[in-house]
Chain A
Amino acid sequence: GNSVTQMEGPVTLSEEAFLTINCTYTATGYPSLFWYVQYPGEGLQLLLKATKADDKGSNKGFEATYRKETTSFHLEKGSVQVSDSAVYFCALKWNTGFQKLVFGTGTRLLVSP
């Protein structure tokens, strides 16, 4: 079936450290890929997306590249801030049919000063 696998958390970093959160997917065809972020006590917000192979999504210093050959969409940021502490969800969505998002299990990021 179609699924998304994320690295287990929590990921604990010091401010200004480099961040990578791994995400791989299993799917037939070519879905669109997303990263959502959930800050404490809030709903999910779209962070970035990529709709086809080799696309790079970027926002707020975060980046992720759609790699068809490795079925991956790893999230990276060069220098994290305390305010980036949140839960990050990788997700996929089909480009045809109804707009069902399939989420990974989420990765909690904790950034200390």
Chain B
Amino acid sequence: DTAVSQTPKYLVTQMGNDKSIKCEQNLGHDTMYWYKQDSKKFLKIMFSYNNKELIINETVPNRFSPKSPDKAHLNLHINSLELGDSAVYFCASSLLGTDYEQYFGPGTRLTVT
């Protein structure tokens, strides 16, 4: 009965590689988000999709490309990984509207060596 799930939970890879993180929600929400949490625990939004349409795109390098095949899924693909990409990436979902809570996934810890 997991609400927001992410895979993988841990990802260790070398610089220059390309990797993907997947997110799925079974809450019936229409909006999904990717957040990045750095080593100092600072959390910042990266992207948001509503009904498969990109609605928030913060200043993120072009190497990061989100894809939403349907309302329940939002994947994050990262090309040419750099050391500075090491972080915990959180997926979240909600209904679109001012009163709706965002539900977060457990996070994916990405380590680039």
Contact = CB atoms under 8 A, between A and B. Distances in A.
Contact of A32 (B31, B43, B98): B98
Contact of B48 (A46, A98, A103): A98
Contacts of A102: 45
B98 A95 contact: yes
Of the listed residues B96, B98, B100, B105, the one surrounded by the most CB atoms of chain A closer than 10 A to its CB is: B98
Contact of A106 (B43, B90, B96): B43
Query: For chain B, which range describes its interface: under 10, 10 to 19, 20 to 34, or 35 or more residues?
Result: 20 to 34
Query: For chain A, which range describes its interface: under 10, 10 to 19, 20 to 34, or 35 or more residues?
Result: 20 to 34
Contacts of A45: 104
A45 B55 CA distance: 23
Given A43-B4, A43-B104, A43-B107, A99 B44 contact: no
Contacts of B92: 44
Given A43-B4, A51-B99, A103 B104 contact: no
A49 B43 CA distance: 18
Interface string A36-70: 10100111111001010000000000000000000
B70 to A, nearest CB: 19
Of the listed residues B90, B102, B106, the one surrounded by the most CB atoms of chain A closer than 10 A to its CB is: B102
Interface string A7-46: 0000000000000000000000000100010100111111
Interface of B: 4, 31, 40-45, 48, 50, 55-56, 90, 92, 94, 96-102, 104-107
Interface of A: 32, 36, 38, 41-46, 49, 51, 87, 89, 93-96, 98-103, 105-106, 108
